[in-house]
Each structure stands twice: as structure tokens, then as C-alpha cells.
Structure 1
């Protein structure tokens, strides 16, 4: 393994994980007592599979909008450049079972959507680059493997 890196995910041995999973990727304790927890929500096995970019974009929009219906602790939700998953940042102490429940609830809401939120040229930098069908397909696969989410390593 190379030397220790500043970015937490660069220190994760991607050959030893078994996607899908939800894991704590980082915890920051802020000066005034707040805690931020970053979760790695991994859809695809690293270096073996990845999500289509239109699916990534549509999951990003849909999850970012829908998750806020279920939690006031959401700071951000964004895609990984490798297209294998997403990062969810919460203003909360680590709680993988609780976050798995939040992710599941949000995914179920996404399956009920009729359109990708804010998928237009006024609200999005590439409004035409979406696929709700691809996003729903990826979310269905994740939900079908819900029992595996808390097991990170192969």
C-alpha cells in the first residue's frame, strides 16, 4: 500500500471492498462542538463496474432533493468521480444503521418520482443530461441488495 494520503478514500484498499455498501468515510469534529460525518454510499464494485453518467446525474439530483424530506442533518450529497457511488455528508455523529434506513427511505421515494428534480437548463448546468429510468434501475439494484449494505470488506 502506498504512503498515507490526505484523502481518506485514497487510503481505502479498493480491491478488498465488496459493493454495495454504506460506510463511514470520514468524521470531522468542528471547533464549536458540531460533528460532520461523510458516508460512502457505494453502488458498484470499484474497478469492475460503474454507473452510467446520466444515471449518476439523475441519482444526484433525485437523492439530494428527496433526502431532505427525511432529514434536516443533510449538508451535501455528491457523486464520486469514479462513478461507483456517492458521498453523503450529515451534521451528525456516525450511525451506519440509521443512515442505511435514511438511504433506503430516500431510494424508495426516488422510485416514486415522475421526473428528475431540477432537470432543466434553468436549474442545472446540463439539464438535458439525465435518465430517470437509469437512476431508478440503479436504485432498484441497490435496494435488492439492502442486506449487504453494512458489510464493507469482501
Structure 2
């Protein structure tokens, strides 16, 4: 073992062999020096170590859902993909409930599947994206359909689905 000091990261202590995706999981709430709350969510779309969303599809989901979610609840700071390509971190001001977050994710994915066209996807040119050639609306729609068919749970260890 080296002598490098590393901080503990909550998501690396989560037992990825026990979770049951898709789910929304509140990782935690942090409070700033003025009492401001920031909530951190694990939005897991694909079962860890059993599959992953191809980069182009995940990239398009990221761009589209970032815009759609901002129309569904206030306070979204960021939604960023996991490097393992199984989902996203969602960071928001305040303390939205897991049900509020899951409902917003679900309705955003439904819009992505049913209504979004290529022209609707933000950030798909060289001026607005650092890797604009790596997008696939077809892949984003197919993966979103799979997530919606499985349902989104509010419990990482139980497949109870939201409405």
C-alpha cells in the first residue's frame, strides 16, 4: 500500500453488486457556511457491471436531460454522467425529495423518447460542445425506453417503482 492519503468517497463504498437499477438515491445533503443546502443524487439508469450506455447515447441523454430537468424543478446545479456510464450525479440547491427528482427524471426521459428531435438536442456543434461529433439521439432514445420499461425505484436495493 502506498502512503498517498485519499479521502473516502461515498459512492466508492456503495456495494455496486447489491444495487438494483434503475433507481434514484439521495447520496447526501451538504450545508454551506450560510446554511445553504446542496443535495447530491445518484441517478442510476443501468445495472452496474452488467451493462453501460454507449458514450454517444449517454452524451445525448446528458445534454437533453440537463435542459429538460431545468423546466421541471428549480435548483438544478448540474447533472453529470458517471465515468462507468451507468448513470448520473445530480446536484441541486435545496432538498428536493427523491420522489420529486425521480418524477422529473421519468418525465424528462419520456419527453426524450416521445417528443425530442435532433433539432431539440442542445450543444451539438463545435461551438457549444467539446466533443460534438459523439452524439446519438437514436441510442439515447433506445436506452431511455429501456429505463422507462423497467421503472425507476426510490430504493437502490429494492425494485419498487414510482408511478
Do the two structures share a fold, i.e. TM-score over 0.5?
Answer: yes
Residues 32-43 of structure 1 aligned to structure 2 (within 5 Å): 32-43=34-45
Q: How many residues align?
A: 150
- 1:104 match: 106
CA RMSD of aligned residues (A): 1.6
Query: Does 1:85 find its partner at 2:92?
Result: no
Residues 66-145 of structure 1 aligned to structure 2 (within 5 Å): 66-111=68-113, 112-115=115-118, 116-145=121-150
In structure 2, distance between residues paired with 1:149 and 1:55: 22
Gaps of 5+ in 2: 1-5, 159-163
In structure 2, distance between residues paired with 1:38 and 1:142: 21
Question: In terms of mean alpha carbon deviation, does 109-118 or 95-104 score higher?
Answer: 109-118
- 1:64 match: 66
The two structures have a TM-score, normalised by structure 2, of 0.86
Preserved contact between residue 24 and residue 94 of structure 1 (Cα < 8 Å): no
Give the secondary-structure state (helix, strand or coil) at the position aligned to 1:71.
coil
Give the secondary-structure state (helix, strand or coil) at the position aligned to 2:155.
coil
Query: Does 1:151 find its partner at 2:155?
Result: yes
- Which among 27, 30, 35 is matched to residue 28 of structure 1? 30
Deviation at 1:151, TM superposition (A): 2.7
In structure 1, distance between residues paired with 2:90 and 2:72: 14
- Which among 47, 50, 61 is matched to residue 49 of structure 2? 47
Larger radius of gyration: 2
Gaps of 5+ in 1: none
In structure 1, distance between residues paired with 2:32 and 2:22: 30
In structure 1, distance between residues paired with 2:112 and 2:55: 17
